[in-house]
Chain A
Amino acid sequence: MAGSGSIWRRALTVGLVAGVAVLYLATVGLVLAFAERSFVTGVTSFGRVILAIPPLAAGFVIGSRAGSVNARLAAGLLAGAISGALLAVSLLFASAVDIRGVLIRVSAPLISFVAWDQDAVTGAGINLALAVGLGLVGAALRIAPRSVRMPVLAAIIGVVVMSLLERFLRPRLTELDFTDVARFLYQGGGLTVPAALITFVLVAAIAVAWSPVRSRVQRAAAGTDAGQRSTIRAVLIVLLIGALLYLPEVVGTFFSQVLVSVGLYVLLGLGLNIVVGYAGLLDLGYVAFFAVGSYLTALLTSPLSSLGLGLPFWVALPIVIVGAAVTGLLIGAPVLRLRGDYLAIVTLGFGEIARLLFLSDALKPWLGGTQGILAIPDMFGVPRIELPILGVISGPELTYYPLVLFCILAIFIAHRLKYSRTGRAWNAMREDEDVAEATGISTVNYKLLAFAMGAGIGCLGGAVFATHLESVFPGTFNIIVSITVLSIVILGGMGSIPGVVLGSLALIGLPELLREFAEFKLLVYGGVLMVMMILRPEGLLPDRARQLELHEADEEETGDDDSLAPSAPRAAEPTPEGLT
């Protein structure tokens, strides 16, 4: 094989990268943070899972190289061995020399955890052996046919998710009197061994069954006409909304709170998605709109604010949104002639200016300085409401339901705009601003429109946020909010509406199941931005146009890859009708 000479060098590189990754994960504190979080109780913890991922991935990557099966397996083994050797050597070093003065996480507990509570030499040996095995397994998994690989991967992910859900499912099942189920599934903070096995088999079985089912569904879908399809879609939407309405009932009070956070970020994400995803304007100061919305709401509704109006929320809301859109125009107007990357920095500057002004003593008489504004009334002014179908609504649910409504509204607007003349103009501008202008699109107007839309939705989020917390503090509105919303949009896929929902669930909802993770949230956001841009810039749920792009790429792999070469393959074909 042509590539067999280089596969060893490649294995060396990949193994080294994996080894460095393992060391990084350990020294940055992730491993120890998850050492106590049980994965499958009595078997292993999430800390070990984290340590296992790099060598496994290294084997997997090597397995995709060209070469004979044996060579690939051996290379996977080699990569794992190098990764393991690096860890083993570092373990020996760390147990001999105290480096805590610099790398503060390299503590005795970490060392003994990594060494499996054995002495350093034995621990090093265990790690080396494990890494070799993992590299081999990774390579084998990659070499295995797709029909085996996919179910196994799905099953592994399934078990991880099931174990993560412990935080949510165990208390909730107990609360709902399914104590036995809870005890069967979870013990000692993790999955029980039987539950893990059942999950693995179940998910694998579903994955195996999935592909025939999918093709049948696809065939059925191909047979439907447009009318039927829109009926199906309507039914699905109704079902989805119904599910959303019952969700707080199902998940309980604590997770209703989480749902509110997720919903809030969905709203913010939808707003930013219009600016970044549709119009291609990178706004790093999106938090400013969120802050303006919150503060405007606070000023208008709180009896303690400098205005002292004490308006009801629903009266204040339209004023807030109009105020927000005007802010968007005012901020947008001067900056819109700037090129893309400068625009990003200017908006970042605006965001920081807004935060510093809200914080400052200079504006304290009006905005409350560091103390913020308190006593913002509830959305409805009452602690509980009784509704016909949903029953008594109280606590976070009082925010949840209006928030769902706002999200649906925002999704509706975003969807309508996307497939309109306006949406096309935005997309054209994103693709090539000069050409869009020359095609007759007033780019300044369309940029302003995108800014104002984003601002309006962001402020709506701010208004909900203020009334939900019943207070606003300047400390909340920092650049991290902007970056979080941007990460959500990027992870889901720029321009993709379902992507925003997925991104919020993953970046806002998931951390609630992983509270050990809180300290590493920003690290992960940073990683998400980098990895997505390098490996999958279209996001996890790309919008339709970008999906086409992927689809096309798949086709090209199988067939004529020279179709982009100037004029070559088409020249001989018959000329298009009407021209001959």
Chain B
Amino acid sequence: MSLAPTSPIPDRDAASESSDAQGILLEARGVTKRFEGLVANRDIDFDIPRHAIVSIIGPNGAGKTTFFNQLSGVFQPTSGSIVFEGVSLVGLAPHDVAELGIARTYQNIRLFQNMSVLANVMVGRHVRMAAQWYDAIIGHPKVQREEELARQRARELLDIVGVRRRYEQDLAKNLPYGDQRRLELARALASDPKLLLLDEPTAGMNPGETRQMTDLIARLRRELQLTILLIEHDMKVVMGISERITVLDYGEQIAEGTPAEIRANPRVIEAYLGKQATT
């Protein structure tokens, strides 16, 4: 089964041609975030190559999620720059960032609990839809067409991530845990993102589900031409699918490189893997 969307994704090809030359989708330079004296991120330089899977690892409180939140517009960096496809993200509101093509999931799943599974995914499609409130009131024919397309795409995405059809009218909060994670992923995919930010996508999953999720992530990248940035605790997951890894510790970037390099880096072993290995 193909993963390619039946509905056209605007600008995808044009955009990728224009900046493929350098092959960098997102570029962060000197990103620093302070909270009242506490430095959550210090001077982080970070590139995400197009179509890559890149991971950020680090112990708890290392500033991984803070960095994520700056990419998605929730926080503004205290200093530094973040450029996505030639557009600076600094100063943009989260909804603008989403419109540019960055979608995310959350460490502790955050679904629209009292909305149906299908509606959750369709909300994800919001930025790729155009109907305004007045269109809806007068019942413009294009509204129905757009809704139908969005519904179709939502169903495809549910199939792709593996949430079964019979759940689509159920409330999101009544889904089993694993399906909630998958649903959150489908919602993120619905906005046709170029960059997908996944915050511990396998947290709380058993080994079988973790393997499924890892396969799914790899497959999404391959078939949807996605670029993926991952925060993950599970070292097996990270080492298995990432091309590049960045290690944060106490807000500082202590290493950056391929999985093999990271595995061999003494600072990383001391700060992170050492502890991990003893447990």
Contacts and interface: CB of A to CB of B under 8 A. Distances in A.
Asked whether the complex places CB atoms of A and B closer than 8 A, the reply is yes
Interface of A: 412-413, 416-417, 420-425, 427-428, 431-432, 434-443, 449, 453, 545-546, 548-549, 552, 556, 563-571, 575-579
Nearest to B3: A578
B230 to A, nearest CB: 17
Contacts of B146: 421
Contact of B160 (A548, A567, A578): A578
Contacts of B163: 576
A243 B178 CA distance: 50
Given A432-B112, A548-B171, A563-B176, A437 B94 contact: yes
Contacts, number: 157
B271 interface: no
Given A416-B139, A438-B74, A571-B208, A427 B177 contact: no
Interface in B75-110: 93-95, 97-99, 103-104, 106, 110
A227 to B, nearest CB: 16
B116 A567 contact: no
29 contacts: A412-B137, A420-B135, A420-B147, A421-B126, A421-B131, A421-B136, A421-B147, A427-B119, A431-B115, A432-B113, A434-B74, A435-B106, A437-B93, A438-B97, A439-B98, A439-B127, A439-B187, A441-B123, A453-B133, A549-B173, A556-B174, A564-B174, A566-B177, A567-B176, A571-B206, A575-B212, A576-B159, A576-B162, A577-B1
B124 A439 contact: yes
A567 B206 contact: yes
B141 to A, nearest CB: 14
B256 interface: no
B20 interface: no
A552 B174 contact: yes
B76 to A, nearest CB: 14
Secondary structure at the A interface, as helix, strand, loop or mixed, is: helix
A53 to B, nearest CB: 33
Contacts of A416: 136-137, 139
A339 B145 CA distance: 36
Contacts of A546: 114
Most buried by B among A423, A438, A549, A571: A438
Interface residues of B, number: 63
Nearest to A435: B110
Contact of A424 (B123, B137, B161, B170): B123
B120 to A, nearest CB: 8
Given A440-B127, A440-B191, A579-B212, A567 B204 contact: yes
Contacts of B208: 571
A440 B95 contact: yes
Contacts of A563: 174, 176
A432 B110 contact: yes
B224 interface: no
A413 B176 CA distance: 36
Nearest to B184: A435
Nearest to A445: B95
B89 to A, nearest CB: 13
Contacts of B94: 434, 437-438
B169 interface: yes
Contacts of A435: 106, 110-112
Interface string B1-41: 10000000000000000000000000000000000000000
B133 A449 contact: yes
A545 B114 contact: yes
